[in-house]
Amino acid sequence: MWTTLKEYTDIRYEATDDGAIAKITINRPEVRNAFRPQTVHELLDAFHLVHEDPKIGVIILTGEGPLAFCSGGDQKVRGHAGYIGGDGVPRLNILDVQKKIRQIPKPVIAMVAGYAIGGGHVLHLVCDLTIAADNAKFGQTGPKVGSFDGGLGCSYMARIIGQKKAREIWYLCRVYDAQQALDMGLVNTVVPLEQLETETLQWCREILQHSPLALRCLKSALNADCDGQMGLLDLAGNATLLYYMSEEAKEGRDAFVEKRKPDFSKFPRIP
Ligand code: 2NE
């Protein structure tokens, strides 16, 4: 069913046999799939590959095993100014993964079993959709462990579930079960653990039946509202992409290449 596309140490990067669905799995179950700089480096690499692969239409982000989706930053390698990797440099580079998930022009689905906690909770939050197993647990721990995510972890969370609930989650650091998460609008659906992957693949297959360009434009349109000028950049990039595909735009290019005056007179000014 799954074919490995590239070997990594901290994650797995696989695709279905037809190449249409990619699955990126954080593979550190011994620490509840906490991420260290190496994990983040690999996630960025895999998301770059998935972005560039025109066969892939949907991406599943998940964690290895039934106990955790992701437990956030690896506290055991947290140093003075961030999480310290093999090069000794402290980093908070998970924020780059959050940006990549939002910017990639294909739906990303978080498939959550067990804990999605701390930075792991923000990761599911920034995905387009979340399918939760009935054993899933959600929450932030920042104020308990001396951390916080004041970026998408606050503003985007509040957009999704409202200011009161977002403040409750951050200030109290409680853990919420799958049904509570569904009631808050934090996740799209809850299914029995043993059906989690089947159900997620079903959602992927439904999405794959639809127009890739429509999905691409919708994702950037839904992002634009929250993402300011960078959101408009992606939305407008899609407008340019569509314009490049038109005869009108091709006339401008051809005229330049052929060293003649462009003739736009045949293109209507549609009201
Ligand atoms: C995830 C949770 C609730 C699981 O609890 P439980 O009881 O199922 O497992 P346990 O025994 O706590 O954990 C199993 C092993 O995983 C390690 C534990 O230390 C333990 O290993 P041993 O000590 O027995 O060898 N482990 C779990 N989470 C880890 C982590 N994040 N880093 C390193 N090791 C971890 C429970 O384990 C839990 O609450 N974990 C901590 C969650 C947390 O506070 N995460 C960091 C939030 S801050 C963050 O992610 C962040 C940010 O705020 C801003 C920027 C970037 C990152």
The answer to pTM > 0.90 is yes
**Is the CB of 222 within 6 Å of ligand 1?**
no
Per residue in 149-184, pLDDT tens? 999 999 999 999 999 999 999 999 999 999 999 999
Domains and CATH numbers, the chain: 2-209 (3.90.226.10), 212-258 (1.10.12.10)
Closest C-alpha to ligand 1, atom 21 = 31
Spatial contact of 182 and 189, defined as CB atoms under 8 Å apart: yes
CB-ligand 1 contact for 149 (6 Å cutoff)? yes
Verify whether ligand 1 is closer than 6 Å to residue 139 (CB atom). no
Q: Is 135 in the pocket of ligand 1 (CB under 6 A)?
A: no
Of 71, 96, 98, 149, best ligand 1 pocket probe by most atoms within 8 Å of the beta carbon: 71
Give the DSSP per-residue string, 189-252.
EEE-GGGHHHHHHHHHHHHHTS-HHHHHHHHHHHHHHHHHHHHHHHHHHHHHHHHHTSHHHHHH
Confidence band of 228 (pLDDT split at 50, 70, 90): very high
In the numeric block, which tokens belong to residue 173? 């650091």
The shares of helix, strand and coil residues in the chain, as percent rounded to the nearest 5, are 50, 20, 30
Q: Is 231 in the pocket of ligand 1 (CB under 6 A)?
A: no
State CA 130 to chain mean position distance.
10
Q: Which atom of ligand 1 is nearest to the CA of 76?
A: 33
Beta carbon of 75 within 6 Å of any ligand 1 atom: yes
Residues 16-70: tens digit of each pLDDT: 999 999 999 999 999 999 999 999 999 999 999 999 999 999 999 999 999 999 9
Task: Measure 240 CA to ligand 1 centroid, in angstroms.
Answer: 44
Is the beta carbon of 33 within 6 A of some atom in ligand 1? no
Least confident of 67-76, 86-95, 136-145: 86-95
Å from CA of 34 to ligand 1 middle: 7
81-114, pLDDT tens digit by residue? 999 999 999 998 999 999 999 999 999 999 999 9
- 170 CA to centre of ligand 1 in angstroms: 17
**CA nearest neighbour of 166 among 131, 129, 99, 121:** 121
Question: Atom 35, ligand 1: which residue's CA is nearest?
Answer: 31
Ligand 1 geometric centre to CA of 209 (Å): 38
Q: Which two tokens stand for residue 87?
A: 């090069």
